[in-house]
C-alpha cells in the first residue's frame, strides 16, 4: 500500500536522523483521522524554525487533503513542545473527518476519499522526502491544491458560460473559462491567508469562481452598454512571473471520471434500479440539453450538489443563496432529473 508522503522544512535548526524518527512516531497519531483517504492525495509538511535571537521554537504543520488544507502553528521554548502543541491542534482540526457525518458524506460524494476502501488506514512513509523535495512553502501547497481542482473548476465555468451563450445572454466566446479559472487561481494564491476560517479550501475556491463569473458577466454587460467598467482585472504584483502562468498546461490532461449512483441523484428505487451506475460524463451528456433550459439557480444547484458533491450548507457559502432556498430547490431539481431520466428510459 502506498504511504503518505511528508517533508521537513527547517530554519535556524538542524534535524538529524534520530529526531526525524521521533517526529515520524508522533505524526502516526494523525493516521486514525485519515482512514479511507487515498494516500497519494495526502501530504504533510512540517516546518520547524528557531528564533534567531531567542530560545523560542515554532512549528507549523500543514496537511493537504483532497478537499481542504489544514494548518496548525505553535511556539514554545522547546522544539518538541512546540511540535507536540501543533500536533494536538492539528488533530483537533482533523476530528470532523472521523465523524459519522463525514463518512456518510464521503459515501455519497467520494471526491474527498477517493479509491481507498473505508476499512483502510493510510500510513505515513517511514522517512520524510529528501531535502528540497515536495512543497517548500505554503504557496507551493496552495498551488498544488489548485492544480488538482483545476479541471473541476474549468468544467463548472464552461457549463456556466455555455448556459448564458445558449440563452442569448452572452455571445459565443465572449468569456474564456480558462482565463476566469486562472484568475481565480491567482486570487486564491495571493489571498491564501484571507480565506475564511470556517470555510474549506474546496468551498472557498468555488466561491471565488462564482464571484469571478458574476464579475465578468457584469463587466461585459457594462462594456456592451458602452459604459466604462468600474472594476478592472487586478494585477497581483506579489506573485512571481512564473506563478502567473495558466495552470492548465501543467495539470494532468486526464482526470478520473467521478462515478455517480443514480439512486443518489434520483432516490426512487421503483423507478430506477438500485444497482445501476453511470459515470458523470454519461449523465451530463444525457441531461445536457435539458439542463441548459433550467433557471440558473436550479442548474447551479444540480452541478454543485449532484456533480461536485457539495452539501447545502456549502452551496450557501459558494453562491450566497439562503439556506432555505437551497433546500427548497433541491426537491425541484430531483424531480427534474427523475423526469428526464425516465424520458431517456422510454426512448431506449
Say whether both 62 and 154 belong to one domain: no
Q: What is the dihedral of CA 77, 79, 82, 88, to 10 degrees?
A: -150
Confirm if 157 and 38 have CB atoms less than 8 A apart. no
Tell me if 8 sits within 8 A of 15, measured CB to CB: yes
Q: Are 44 and 6 in contact (CB under 8 A)?
A: yes
CA distance 287 to 269: 20
Q: Could you count the other beta carbons within 10 Å of the beta carbon of residue 33?
A: 21
One pLDDT digit (tens) per residue for the chain, 348 residues: 689 999 999 999 999 999 999 999 999 999 999 988 889 889 999 999 999 999 999 999 999 999 999 999 999 999 999 999 999 999 999 988 765 555 444 444 445 444 444 446 789 999 999 999 999 999 999 999 999 999 999 999 998 898 888 888 889 999 999 999 999 999 999 999 899 988 999 999 999 999 999 999 999 988 888 765 555 544 433 333 333 344 444 343 333 333 333 333 333 333 333 333 344 556 666 666 677 778 888 888 988 998 888 999 999 999 999 999 999 999 988 888 888 777 766 665
On whether both 166 and 232 belong to a single domain, the answer is: yes
- 86, 108, 134: which is the final residue of a domain? 134
- Residue whose C-alpha cell reads 526525524 in the numeric block: 20
What is the count of structural domains for the chain? 3
144 and 238 inside one domain = yes
167 with 230, same domain: the answer is yes
Alpha-carbon distance 303 to 308, whole Å? Answer: 6
Verify that 204 and 291 share a domain, yes or no.
no
Cα distance between residue 198 and residue 314, in whole Å:
11
Q: With residue 162 as reference, give the H or E element that holds it.
A: helix 138-166
**What domain range includes position 150?**
140-250
Could you tell me which residues are beta bridge partners of residue 69?
Answer: 64
What's the CA gap between 141 and 63, in Å, rounded? 9
Give the predicted TM-score (pTM) of the model: 0.77
**Residue 173 to residues 152, 165, 168, 268: CA-CA distances in angstroms?**
20, 8, 12, 39
| Chain centre to alpha carbon of residue 253 | 18
CATH code of the domain covering residue 124:
3.30.160.100
Q: End of a domain among 110, 134, 158?
A: 134
- Domain with residue 265: its CATH number is 1.20.140.160
Can you name the residues that pair with 75 across neighbouring β-strands?
58
Tell me, yes or no, whether 129 and 153 share the same domain.
no
For the chain, the farthest-separated pair of C-alpha atoms sits apart, in whole angstroms, at: 76
Residue 201 falls in which region: left (phi positive, over 0), alpha (psi -120 to 50) or beta: alpha
Amino acid at each position: 500500500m502506498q504511504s503518505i508522503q511528508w517533508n521537513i522544512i527547517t530554519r535556524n535548526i538542524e534535524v538529524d536522523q534520530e529526531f526525524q524518527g521521533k517526529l515520524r512516531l508522533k505524526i502516526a497519531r494523525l493516521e486514525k483521522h485519515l482512514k479511507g483517504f487515498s494516500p497519494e492525495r495526502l501530504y504533510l509538511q512540517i516546518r520547524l524554525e528557531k528564533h534567531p535571537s531567542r530560545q523560542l521554537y515554532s512549528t507549523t504543520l500543514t496537511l493537504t487533503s483532497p478537499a481542504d488544507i489544514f494548518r496548525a502553528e505553535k511556539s514554545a521554548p522547546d522544539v518538541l513542545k512546540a511540535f507536540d502543541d501543533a500536533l494536538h491542534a492539528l488533530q483537533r482540526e482533523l476530528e470532523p473527518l472521523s465523524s459519522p457525518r463525514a463518512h456518510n458524506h464521503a459515501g455519497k460524494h467520494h471526491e474527498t476519499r477517493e479509491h481507498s476502501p473505508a476499512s483502510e488506514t493510510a500510513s505515513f512513509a517511514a522517512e520524510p522526502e529528501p531535502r528540497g523535495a515536495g512543497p517548500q512553502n505554503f504557496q507551493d501547497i496552495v498551488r498544488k491544491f489548485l492544480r488538482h481542482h483545476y479541471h473541476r473548476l474549468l468544467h463548472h465555468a464552461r457549463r456556466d458560460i455555455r448556459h448564458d451563450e445558449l440563452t442569448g445572454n452572452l455571445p459565443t466566446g465572449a468569456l474564456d473559462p480558462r482565463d476566469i479559472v486562472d484568475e481565480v487561481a491567482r486570487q486564491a494564491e495571493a489571498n491564501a491567508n484571507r480565506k475564511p476560517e470556517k470555510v474549506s479550501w474546496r468551498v472557498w475556491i468555488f466561491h471565488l469562481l462564482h464571484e469571478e463569473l458574476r464579475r465578468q458577466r457584469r463587466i461585459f454587460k457594462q462594456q456592451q452598454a458602452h459604459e466604462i467598467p468600474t472594476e478592472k482585472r487586478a494585477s497581483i504584483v506579489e506573485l512571481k512571473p512564473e506563478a502567473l502562468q495558466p495552470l492548465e498546461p501543467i495539470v494532468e490532461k486526464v482526470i478520473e471520471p467521478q462515478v455517480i449512483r443514480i439512486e443518489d441523484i434520483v432516490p426512487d428505487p421503483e423507478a430506477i434500479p438500485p444497482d445501476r451506475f453511470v459515470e458523470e460524463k454519461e449523465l451530463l451528456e444525457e441531461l445536457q440539453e435539458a439542463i441548459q433550459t433550467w433557471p440558473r439557480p436550479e442548474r447551479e444547484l444540480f452541478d454543485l450538489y449532484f456533480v461536485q458533491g457539495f452539501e447545502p450548507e456549502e452551496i450557501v457559502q459558494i453562491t450566497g443563496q439562503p439556506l432555505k432556498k437551497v433546500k427548497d430547490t433541491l426537491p425541484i431539481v430531483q424531480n427534474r432529473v427523475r423526469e428526464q431520466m425516465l424520458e431517456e428510459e422510454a426512448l431506449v
